[in-house]
Structure 1
């Protein structure tokens, strides 16, 4: 009997500790009020709900602008690219390309799967119509040939919606590569 009481007490203690150790959405790393990228994809490109990670809810602070962009995802079976819509909030225009990549990483719809969720953007630079994205692609972010083709197409279609972007140079950890994940040959740079 005493052994059962100790077992139940130990189990209860582990459950309490486990519940206390979970991350709250506002406390996740990189989820600060300074990074107010709102992403709410819409399968039809229609109205989206707007949210921010700051304490102000969906309010926009002075000096911020909101822009609605088109973002490309895939279906759960990786059979086709799907067009979505996201709102990004920018404090300055130079943040547009980073915010766009963050939008590519997130999808709130089960029918629209992000191809870039586990990849990281090391940096982005824009000069004379050429956008350079330096990516980090960990092993868990690597896709098969069909997924990689859709991932490259999603990047191109998403970034080429901006009229000022004439070419897109993709780097992996600062180096020019022939393929992002080993299946699809890249043009260096990708062009419209």
Structure 2
């Protein structure tokens, strides 16, 4: 990622962090807060009895953070595609909000050299509600959901098979993106 793109990403993440200022029920990702261990961030679990647990990210009610939601499925043929289908279906938890426009369609997804290439129809871009926060949450949910899988380190979002600069003008998605822990709301350990 170029220096300019990194700087823009960092500025946007700071904006998200500042909007959440004063919240007392979060633990910043990467902090050494008591009771928080590395294994608290859930990864897709190994199949037990032909089941797999998949973690998907949706927006919090305040539309500032992402929060995980897990689903246990009979082991699907393609867990990565199943994760995207769960993301597009929306949350089961009423305290979470969907991040993908309902008219958006997943065209394809493939993983090569630890990069997931996720291809949507143009409705992901055209029906995105706009605004920097919505764009960050949509992109963050896609990237963080897919990077739950150990074989995926980065995600390239495509629209109709093509690389685009942005979804709604705020975040550069022309190159593969890495996971962003800072946007994930962490529960307070009691």
Query: How high is the TM-score relative to the length of structure 2?
Result: 0.60
Partner residue of 1:68? Answer: 53
Unaligned 5+ segments in structure 1 are 1-44, 46-63
- Match for 1:184 among 153, 156, 171? 171
Partner residue of 1:99? Answer: 82
Which segments of structure 1 move beyond 6 Å, counting only runs of 4 or more? Answer: none
Residue 141 (structure 1) shift: 3.9
Partner residue of 1:175? Answer: 162
Residue 163 (structure 1) shift: 0.9
Higher relative CO (Cα under 8 Å, sequence separation at least 6) belongs to: 2
C-alpha distance in 2 between matches for 1:65 and 1:152: 31
1:1-192 matched pairs, under 5 angstroms: 65-92=50-77, 95-105=78-88, 106-118=90-102, 119-138=104-123, 139-192=126-179
Partner residue of 2:29? Answer: none
Asked if 2 retains the 8 angstrom alpha-carbon contact of 1:75 and 1:112, the reply is yes
User: How many residues end up aligned between the 2 structures?
Assistant: 130
Partner residue of 1:28? Answer: none
Describe the shift of the 1:82–1:176 C-alpha distance in structure 2 as closer, same or farther (beyond 3 A).
same
Unaligned 5+ segments in structure 2 are 1-40, 42-48, 180-190
Residue 187 (structure 1) shift: 5.0
Residue 73 (structure 1) shift: 0.6
Query: How high is the TM-score relative to the length of structure 1?
Result: 0.59
Residue 181 (structure 1) shift: 2.8
C-alpha distance in 2 between matches for 1:66 and 1:117: 29
Matched residue SS, 1:107: coil
Q: Please report the RMSD computed on the Cα atoms of aligned residues, expressed in angstroms.
A: 2.6
Matched residue SS, 1:134: strand
